[in-house]
Chains A and B, each alone.
Chain A
Amino acid sequence: MALNNNRTKGALLGASILALAGLGSLPALAADAQEIIRDRCLACHTESGDADNPSFSRISDLRKTPEGWQMTLNRMQHLRDLEISTEEKRTVIKYLSDHQGLAPEESAPFRYLLEQDTNRVEVGIDENVMQMCARCHSAARIGLQRRTEDEWQTLVDFHMAQFPGIELHAGSRDRPWYHLAHDETAVKLAEMYPLVTPEWNDWKKADKASLMGRWRVLGYIPAKGEFSAWMTAAKTGEDRYSLELEGNYADGAVIEGKGNATVFTGYEWRGTITIDSVKMRQVMAADKNGQMMDGRMFLAAEDEIGGELRAVKDTGDAQVVAVMPTYLKAGESAELVIVGQNLDGDIDLGDGVSVDKIIARSKDRIVVAATAAGDTGVNTVKVGSADSDVALNVYEQVARVDVTPVNAISRIGGNGGEMEKIRATYRAIGYSAGADGEPGTEDDVRLGYMPASWSIEPADEIAEHDKDHLYAGEITPAGMFIPGDAGPNPERKMSANNVGRLNVVATVDDGGNAVEGRGSMLVSVPDFVERVLD
């Protein structure tokens, strides 16, 4: 009874603050967050400016992603004795992400880090930034921040004081690292990633689309496969949604999940959803119209294990969203799943591809048996008058197989040690040779993800000599690499642990013709530092 009364009061109070907000005062959340910052942070930080538009020393001189702000608050808690409740922390992260976040264009080049898709070698990184900064952490971590010049320089000073050995590392002791970092790199970063940008000024002013509604979702879960589903986002608060997901894996098995999501900065979707009793996280970016979201879904407990995730909003219009698989071999028949929304009318898979049988059909999922009789080519999948840019690749031969990730790292673990094994998950992508008939050239046609058998081999002669392939781990038929046990191994030279350098080999069976692709796997030591962003 008392609880109910309190709730009612809270709701009324909230409503009155929101009503006031319309009259020119601050929104409730912002006011709350500013009060929390005053209460929790001003023991060290100082406030200036007027009460409605305050400036907090250091805090107000930078912009970050939600994960960036979370890292900042984590550090303040663990290293600077900040005391803050979980709810207060959530409020502050939301407020800072919304008011001092990154515009969609600013985060776009580095979304892989937010998506925890870190089995990659970063490319296109400024050489100076690579040498000075990105030899310890990702370049994306820097690219996902915006600071004043003074703040970039203060960040260098923080690095010096927090990690005093930093200027003695290989790669920094060969140069006056501190002076270069402070006087040159920080100045350059202030030019590359300044606090004030036109993109952010525009995005601050832009109307933000609501992401409430029904979404046609396509994804991939390692060891389970591709799925298509409906995900309903019901509003539970400002930028907060409850989620229900229901659909099918490619083989028809049911996928179901429930969870919730928060949207930061007007486009940063962060969901947590439990699927088949496994907690997973969604990190997606919504487009500016709020019609499409792209990103990744991964295990909450193991963020290396995940796959692409795409959501297309149900606008009531007919739309083809995907076909699974995305290829059909010329002269052969196969079952195809067409995924979309509001699908009516004839199915057209392009010239030379016949629909032999409709196995199952609903407005959002059609299963057909199809035969490619004629020419190879990239066909558009059409259903009635539905919008479609979904391609079905009709091919003659798989000419090349790429392994993704091309470069991966896993970490030994378990065996009574403190850290679990860090695994990696692989997929194979098939290509046809394209018009020039030469695989590995620009005109190769990406056919799509293909089933493959998986094996490992030593990366080179040294790895073979050290028998890395016998100790460093194994790969499952589903392409999951499981590294070896942690700890010294008396069987190995110098009792080395089970680290190693391997190639992961995918073999695609293309009508009796085996086509191989290779990826590089570095099996490394446990990483005892847990970071929100690498």
Chain B
Amino acid sequence: MKLTQMFKSTALAGSLGAAALMSAVAPAAQAAQEYLLTVTRPGHLQVIDMATNKVERTCDVPGNFGSGSIALAPNGKTAYVLSNGMEDVYGFDIRSCDITFHAAQSTPTLKVKSFQSVAVSPDGTELYTIQNPFGLKRDRFTVEQPRLAVFNVADGVGAKPVRTFPVDRRITKIATTAQGEVILGGADVKAINPDTGEVRMVTPLQNWEKGPLWLPPDAFAMHNQGEQSNEYIMPYVTAKFDSEEWNFETAEWWWGMSRVDLETGEAERMEIVPFQFIVFNFISDPRDPNILYGAFNTLSKHDISKQETIAVKEMPHTYYDLNISADGKTIYVGGTSSDISVHDSETLEKIGSIQLSGDMSTSDLRVATIRD
């Protein structure tokens, strides 16, 4: 197993010597080493050294490609990947590709899907997923109540939920706060206590009360990110109509977000910039929460204190997601295809590219920080 992985990473790095050297030396040699993680088709967790922008390790992910959702252990050493058609979670030691955790959520009588929703408790001992179960009866399916499933990380391979609590339907991205709550992104942003199952409203979105001329927001988040600012962003699109004629042409269209501070569990909801083009994901600059970057067909930079778009860089193809270095200087734009585009956050100019062995498709682009 290990041999195969090393062989693969070797092939990617292009030189046996270089790859072997990096594998042996890199993790232990540096303090606060940042690794960019993503999943590529047909099933590889790519571990990229952000100091060199080279693929350092490629771990085989068992099962059919899922959605490439990745959750990080707080110490940055373990990455949990949603695989096998969004049914199984595998935990990888990113320093070795060893599989340290596996939870198969489905059973012969229950098909269980998780839509991106994987997160780890702040102490790293528990893993959370949102399970959407479907009963497999002899001649029909049944639709069962979605639930938060709590796993003990220590249960390792073969882990089963130790607790479950009912939650709303349509939950995608989740995250944990320093208080130990799990943020649930669905029709509204809510938080659940994973010990008691108690749910509180964080930001009403579909149930907001913003006045009759505001279009209920279309809120959706497909990608886990925000670790560099310890935040959770649920972006949305809304419109303010000028009358009850509901003229879509004359309405003011806005990007907005609910941004949860994962240190405090408190959220702010606001319209951030006028809707001028599609942005699939926003991230904040770790140095300045008023500066946001967005990716899709463009890489864009926004000052939300002024509700302004500061800079727009046309991209050669669509990129679904993005992430940023801890110092805020370098932006990594990825997803969709097989290359990660590296940009200077000041100018948005392209300063590098990382070619991967397969398409990232809908996969997350996450930064694991190992502080030794």
Contact = CB atoms under 8 A, between A and B. Distances in A.
B297 A161 contact: no
B134 A161 contact: yes
B218 A174 contact: yes
Contact of B140 (A157, A176, A178, A179): A157
Contact of B316 (A158, A167, A170, A495): A495
Contact of A170 (B172, B187, B218): B218
A161 B138 contact: no
B108 to A, nearest CB: 14
Given A164-B115, A164-B132, A173-B218, A157 B141 contact: yes
A58 interface: yes
Contacts of B143: 157, 160-161, 178, 182
B216 A174 contact: yes
A494 B216 CA distance: 32
Interface string B140-174: 11110000000000000000000000000110100
Among A44, A167, A174, max chain B CB count under 10 A is at: A174
Interface residues of A, number: 26
A161 B316 CA distance: 37
Q: Is chain B's interface secondary structure helix, strand, loop, or mixed overall?
A: loop
A284 B155 CA distance: 63
A168 interface: yes
Given A164-B134, A174-B218, A44 B139 contact: yes
Interface in A44-62: 44-46, 57-58
Contacts of B104: none
A476 interface: no
Given A161-B134, A494-B297, A168 B139 contact: no
A396 B108 CA distance: 74
B141 A158 contact: yes
A168 B141 contact: no
Nearest to B171: A168
Given A58-B139, A161-B143, A168 B134 contact: no
A158 B138 contact: no
Nearest to B317: A494
Nearest to B67: A165
Contact of B139 (A57, A160, A164, A177): A57
A154 interface: yes
A458 to B, nearest CB: 20
A173 B205 CA distance: 12
A495 B136 CA distance: 44
Contacts of B219: 173
A494 B315 contact: yes
A90 to B, nearest CB: 23
A167 B138 contact: no
Interface string B112-149: 01010000000000000000101010111111000000
B297 A45 contact: no
Q: Is chain A's interface secondary structure helix, strand, loop, or mixed overall?
A: helix
B111 interface: yes
A417 B21 CA distance: 41
Among B140, B297, B317, max chain A CB count under 10 A is at: B140
Contact of B220 (A154, A173, A175): A173
Nearest to B132: A164
Contact of B318 (A160, A178, A494): A494
Interface in A2-49: 44-46
A157 B169 contact: no
A44 B216 CA distance: 43
Contacts of A168: 115, 170, 172, 220
B206 interface: yes
Contact of A44 (B113, B132, B138, B316): B138
B307 to A, nearest CB: 24
Contacts of A162: 141
A494 B132 CA distance: 37
Interface string A136-174: 000000000000000000100110111011011010011
B170 A161 contact: no
Contacts of B315: 494
A161 B134 CA distance: 6
Among A164, A165, A177, max chain B CB count under 10 A is at: A164
B113 A164 contact: yes
Interface in B78-115: 86, 111, 113, 115
A62 to B, nearest CB: 13
Interface in B213-249: 216, 218-220
Contacts of A182: 143
Contact of A176 (B86, B134, B169): B169
Nearest to B172: A168
Nearest to A167: B170
Interface string B194-226: 000000000000100000000010111000000
A160 B187 CA distance: 18
A45 B318 CA distance: 46
B78 to A, nearest CB: 27
Given A170-B218, A173-B218, A494-B316, A161 B169 contact: no
A176 B317 contact: no
Contact of A46 (B136, B138, B316): B138
A177 B220 CA distance: 15
Contacts of B220: 168, 170, 173
A428 to B, nearest CB: 33
B246 to A, nearest CB: 14
Contacts of B318: 494
Contacts of B142: 157
Contacts of B138: 44-46
B140 A158 contact: yes
A488 to B, nearest CB: 8
Contacts of A154: 140-141
A12 B138 CA distance: 40
Given A46-B138, A161-B134, A165-B115, A174 B316 contact: no
A170 B220 CA distance: 9
Contacts of A58: 139-140
B331 to A, nearest CB: 19
Nearest to A80: B139
A19 B286 CA distance: 86
Contacts of B169: 167, 176, 178-179
Nearest to B115: A168
Contacts of A46: 138-139
Contact of B170 (A157, A170, A173): A173
Among A46, A161, A177, max chain B CB count under 10 A is at: A161
Given A161-B134, A176-B169, A494-B316, 4 more contacts: A58-B140, A161-B136, A161-B143, A173-B219
Interface of A: 44-46, 57-58, 154, 157-158, 160-162, 164-165, 167-168, 170, 173-179, 182, 494-495
18 contacts: A45-B138, A58-B139, A158-B140, A158-B141, A160-B134, A160-B141, A160-B143, A164-B113, A164-B132, A170-B220, A173-B219, A173-B220, A174-B206, A177-B170, A179-B169, A494-B297, A494-B316, A494-B317
Query: What are the nearest 9 A-B pairs in CB distance?
Result: A161-B141, A161-B134, A164-B113, A44-B139, A160-B143, A157-B141, A45-B139, A44-B138, A157-B143
